[in-house]
Chain A
Amino acid sequence: MKADIAKLLQKKKKQILEDWMNDQLKDEGLREDLMSNEELREQSVELLDVLLKALTDTNLSDLQSADFEPVHEILSGISISRARQGFSPKETGVFVFSLKDALLRSLLTEVKDDTDLLVDAFSKINKLMDSLGVVTFETFIKGREEVILRQTDEITEISTPVIQVWEGILALPIIGTLDSARTQVVMENLLQEIVETGSTIAILDISGVPAVDSLVAQHLIKTVAATRLMGAECIISGIRPEIAQTVVHLGIDLSNIVTKASLASALKHSFSMLKLDVKRIQKDKAAF
């Protein structure tokens, strides 16, 4: 008569949990800075509960069984939250694989004498836990990718602010690499802002752009031409010496674009274009 592996494990739940917790706490990779031991215990209890509840002798060999869905769900939740908290893949993996050790160890003590059953149970539990491990990794990586995607979105959103520095003068500091998609966003934002504020001068500051190749230069020229078509003038400022070198070496002609060394000098140039005069108020005159 074959003993029920699932029942057996359910009976030993408490011991398995203790065993598992000990293993986890002993591990060098334990991250007490990211998660307290109580939290870890909560997660472990939750997972073990659901796993043992789902486990029956019939579905043990059928890994695709729908009974395991709640287990997968909980596991996904745990690994996604771990990915967001900044756990390494190894630390997340150890969480699941140490459970395997605990399960196998308690099986070993229970069914010592029945070798056939032991081998059978071992291989099944092994397979089950491996598949759970795979699920963990998949969701862990998915969680990481989500984090990266969100950051990318944030970067594109914050990196193209159009600032009105004076009545009729807009400034657009570009920070980071310019690619086609970003130039499109930059161009649209700038043109929209020109219409809304009725500005006649736009200053494109590229001191935060790490490198300019022919494609980036092409994008810049396009932006300048589009601003001109709208009826505004575009000044490019913040051209660093390295960029000036590459631009000339690449044979890009920027001669019909107004370029200035710094945002300050571009602003000064814009003032003179708008026939504005900025001057210091003399102290003795101000006293009157």
Chain B
Amino acid sequence: MDRIPILRMGHFLLVTIQIDLYDRLATNLETDLVQMVNKTGAKGVLIDISALSIVDSFMGRILGNIGSMSKIMDAETVVVGMQPAVAITLIELGLELKGVHTALNVEKGMTLLQEKITSYDEELLDNEDHSEQG
């Protein structure tokens, strides 16, 4: 059975979709990814879809689902490199991918994830400081 590889990079998981997704592959990716987040305790998921030229409503929903699932498992999701045609299609389908962050390319996506994590950490640190003072 075909699977899309999920790479681990520090706190983050990296998924690059190099082939056109069919439904089975997408559902597998969803399951695998959630399990990986659980196993590795990743703080962020980066999905590169720059090679994806065709999407349908199902694929859009899967992307949205991955975002929401990771969110409740305490990981941020960034979708990077979306083609203009794909973006227009998703909007016309009424899928705005709420709960998923987007970035232009992998580099910008990584920066975004890092920012999210550090700001979160800082908040934690601040809270700890306050509790220590109190």
Contacts and interface: CB of A to CB of B under 8 A. Distances in A.
Contacts of A191: 84, 87-88
Contact of B104 (A222, A225, A231): A231
B84 A198 contact: no
A231 B90 contact: no
B132 to A, nearest CB: 31
A192 B96 contact: no
B46 to A, nearest CB: 12
B84 A231 contact: no
Contacts of B57: none
Given A191-B84, A192-B84, A195-B84, A229 B104 contact: no
Interface string A91-105: 000000000000000
Contacts of B80: 231
Query: How big is chain B's contact interface, by range?
Result: 20 to 34
B25 interface: no
Contact of A198 (B82, B91, B92, B105): B105
A200 B104 contact: yes
Interface residues of A, number: 18
A229 B55 CA distance: 13
B96 A225 contact: yes
A230 B82 contact: yes
B102 A226 contact: no
A188 interface: yes
Contacts of B97: 229
Interface string B91-134: 11000110000111100110000000000000000000000000
Interface string B42-82: 00000000000000000000000000000000000001111
Contacts of B90: 226, 229
B104 A228 contact: no
Interface centre among B82, B83, B88, B92 (most CB of A within 10 A): B88
B83 to A, nearest CB: 8
A52 interface: no
Contacts of A239: none
A77 to B, nearest CB: 44
Contacts of A232: 104
Contacts of A228: 96, 102
A10 B64 CA distance: 83
A229 B96 contact: yes
Interface in A198-234: 198-200, 222, 225-232
A220 to B, nearest CB: 12
Contact of A200 (B82, B83, B96, B108): B108
A205 B84 CA distance: 20
A194 interface: yes
Interface string A179-195: 00000000110011011
A222 B88 CA distance: 8
A198 B50 CA distance: 13
29 contacts: A187-B88, A188-B88, A191-B87, A191-B88, A192-B84, A194-B104, A195-B83, A195-B104, A198-B104, A198-B105, A199-B104, A200-B104, A225-B91, A225-B96, A226-B84, A226-B87, A226-B88, A227-B87, A228-B102, A229-B82, A229-B86, A229-B87, A229-B91, A229-B97, A229-B102, A230-B84, A231-B80, A231-B82, A231-B105
Interface of B: 79-84, 86-88, 90-92, 96-97, 102-105, 108-109
Given A229-B79, A229-B86, A229-B97, 17 more contacts: A188-B88, A192-B84, A194-B84, A195-B104, A199-B104, A225-B96, A226-B87, A226-B88, A227-B87, A228-B102, A229-B82, A229-B90, A230-B87, A231-B82, A231-B102, A231-B104, A231-B108
